[in-house]
Amino acid sequence: MEIWVQEYGWAKQSLGWLLEELGYTLVSEWGHGGSWQGAGEYIVLESGPDVAGPHERRRAGLNHLALAAGPASNVDALADAALGHGWTLMFADRHPYAGGPGHYAAYLENQDGFEVELVAGEN
């Protein structure tokens, strides 16, 4: 998956940080991008001259990434730590069940409008 961002440095601090907390490893980096390797997939964050305008999750295209975050205690710890890395908690009045009863997750948004859903799995 390749995610185009307006400013790679900022994306690395927020999205890159979160990917690393979820077990992804930064495997390559170039002047305006980087690639994080997961268990079988990889995610690229890239800026550059081809990026036209800011991200808007409510337009056609990607709304958010839902990522497995381990047990509920991991979701809570990551959501708390994310606040210090440029993320805000969405749907705070319904957290951690904003996705419905029985769906434990944290919905986070960074300053560029990227939304990530950290989903709790089995303990």
Please tell me whether residues 74 and 109 are part of one structural domain: yes
pLDDT at 13: 95
Q: Is 42 in contact with 35 (CB distance < 8 Å)?
A: yes
- pLDDT value at 77 more than 80: yes
Please tell me whether residues 32 and 68 are part of one structural domain: no
Please tell me whether residues 69 and 112 are part of one structural domain: yes
Tell me which residue range forms the domain holding 21: 1-48
- pLDDT value at 72 more than 60: yes
More confident residue, 60 or 45: 45
CATH of the domain at 6: 3.30.720.120
Q: How many domains does the chain have?
A: 2
pLDDT at 58: 78
Separation of alpha carbons 120 and 73, rounded Å: 8
How many other β-carbons are positioned within 10 Å of the β-carbon of residue 29? 14
Residue 53 lies in a domain: no
Please tell me whether residues 32 and 75 are part of one structural domain: no
Separation of alpha carbons 5 and 75, rounded Å: 25
State the average pLDDT over residues 103-117: 95
